[in-house]
Amino acid sequence: MDFLSSKRFISITLAILIVLNLALLGTLWWQNVKAPTKNEKAVKALKDTKKQSFFEKELNLTDEQSKEFKALRQQHFQGTLPALVTISSLKRKLIQEAIKNEPDTLEIKALAERIGSLQAVIEYRLAWHFNGLSNVCSPEQRDTLQSVLEKVTAKPYKLKSRLFLKRIRLTPIKDKNVAEQDTTMGKDPGKQSEATPQ
């Protein structure tokens, strides 16, 4: 009989494999259950400080304030997500309509108005979100919060510099009434002839 096919060899090999598997499982279990060492605590503390949000660093928030900020952020995100999803869908429809050979200007106008109204809802909710954040802050933190929010939300200079770098020219609508008359007559206001009275 061949030694490798004997019952004794197979039994010994299986026993060794079972012992090795049990030892490996025991080691993994012991690593997960044992108390963390000082080094592991230091690494965890370092990770926690890196995870601090931008506001926590800028405003020097307490743990309680950080929890409230996080809850307010989640609440704001959940409240605005449906509007953002709808805006995305409407923008897709707007693009599909705009690239047609003969786009329906009334449909484009209606889609743009719906996008604008949803954007207004988002801005309204954002203002109340900022109010909720300010209610969590101390008076000193409110001043810092205001300057941080102004830096984060109002950056027209960045838009101008981007447009300048890309050499994009914005042409303002000269007269709102003329533009609206053209859209109701089925004309594209961006393709007005120069002879159009203003």
- In this prediction, residue 182 carries a pLDDT of 47
Considering the domain boundaries, does residue 71 fall inside one?
Answer: yes
Higher pLDDT, 195 or 147: 147
pLDDT exceeds 70 at position 92: yes
Q: How far does Cα 64 stand from its chain's mean position?
A: 24
- In this prediction, residue 60 carries a pLDDT of 84
Considering the domain boundaries, does residue 196 fall inside one?
Answer: no
- In this prediction, residue 7 carries a pLDDT of 78
Q: 183: closest CA among 96, 118, 113?
A: 113
Nearest-angstrom CA–CA distance, 157 and 151? 11
| Mean pLDDT on 34-62 | 67
Q: Report how far apart, in Å, the C-alpha atoms of 17 and of each of 28, 30, 91 are.
A: 17, 20, 61
Lowest mean pLDDT among 2-11, 26-35, 108-117, 167-176: 167-176
Higher pLDDT, 93 or 60: 93
Considering the domain boundaries, does residue 3 fall inside one?
Answer: no
Domain that holds residue 135: 64-169
SS3 of residue 197 by DSSP: coil
Residue 111 CB neighbours (<10 A) = 20
Q: What is the count of structural domains for the chain?
A: 1
Considering the domain boundaries, does residue 26 fall inside one?
Answer: no
146: domain CATH number? Answer: 1.20.120
- In this prediction, residue 196 carries a pLDDT of 43
Q: Are 86 and 111 in contact (CB under 8 A)?
A: no
Q: What percent of the chain has pLDDT over 70?
A: 65
Whole-number mean pLDDT of the chain? 76
Considering the domain boundaries, does residue 99 fall inside one?
Answer: yes
